[in-house]
Amino acid sequence: MRSGYKDNKRIRWVLLALGMAVVVAITTAFVIYRRAGGIPREVLQAVQTTADMVIANIRQTAVKDGARSWQLDAARARLNGKKMILDQPVVIFYMKDGGLLNLKADEGVLNTSTKDIAVSGHVVVTFDNYRMESQKLYYNHQRQILYTDTAVSIAANEFQLAAGNMSIDLNSQITSFDGGVNGTVHEALRL
Whole-angstrom Cα distance, residue 188 to residue 191? 10
Q: What are the pLDDT digits (tens) for 99-138?
A: 899 999 999 999 989 999 999 999 999 988 899 999 999 9
Q: What are the domain boundaries of the chain? A: 1-38, 43-185
pTM attached to this predicted model: 0.69
Q: Does domain 43-185 have CATH number 2.60.450.10?
A: yes
Q: What is the reported pLDDT for 39?
A: 47
Mean pLDDT of all residues in 149-159: 90
